[in-house]
Structures are given as structure tokens and as C-alpha cells.
């Protein structure tokens, strides 16, 4: 799915429009309930409500939901 470069995405827009209405339904249609969903580290992906939605509305096969942390580059 493509988003116009001029659109600013916040966590509510991302969660309500893209995850709930577009991405998750299409992924379930194509893959069923078992798929790997990987997100980047932008704030909308890391928002507590987004993480809670994914925990609640997806089948998690791992013992816990993995959230990555950004690490400061050691070269700086």
C-alpha cells in the first residue's frame, strides 16, 4: 500500500485506517491467521495503542510480543 508523500501519518491514522481497515484484512485474506508482520521504528508503529491492537487482534506464536529498541550508533 502506498501513501502520498505529503500525508503525515500519526498513530491514530495508521492504526485506524491502515492496520484495521486495510493491511490486516488483506493479510488475513491472503495468508489466513498465520503470517509475520514486521514494522519499522517510526512513532506510529511503536505507539502503545498500536502495539496493544496487534497483541489483541493477531495470533501471536511467540511467548511474548517483540518490540525493538533503536540503538545509538557506536561510531558516533
Q: Is the pTM of this model over 0.75?
A: no
Q: Residue 38: its pLDDT value, please? A: 78
Q: How far apart are CA 19 and CA 26, in angstroms?
A: 10
> What's the grid cell of residue 41?
521504528
Contacts of 61 (CB under 8 A, 6+ apart): 34
Q: How far apart are CA 68 and CA 28, in angstroms?
A: 24
Split the chain (76 residues) into runs of 10 and give each run's mean pLDDT.
78 90 89 79 86 81 52 45
> What's the grid cell of residue 71?
540503538
Amino acid at each position: 500500500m502506498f501513501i502520498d508523500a505529503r500525508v503525515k501519518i500519526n498513530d491514530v491514522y495508521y492504526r485506524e485506517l491502515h492496520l484495521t481497515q486495510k493491511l490486516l484484512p488483506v493479510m488475513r485474506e491472503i495468508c489466513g491467521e498465520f503470517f509475520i508482520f514486521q514494522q519499522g521504528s517510526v512513532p506510529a508503529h511503536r505507539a502503545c495503542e498500536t502495539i496493544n491492537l496487534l497483541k489483541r487482534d493477531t495470533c501471536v506464536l511467540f511467548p511474548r510480543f517483540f518490540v525493538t529498541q533503536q540503538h545509538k550508533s557506536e561510531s558516533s
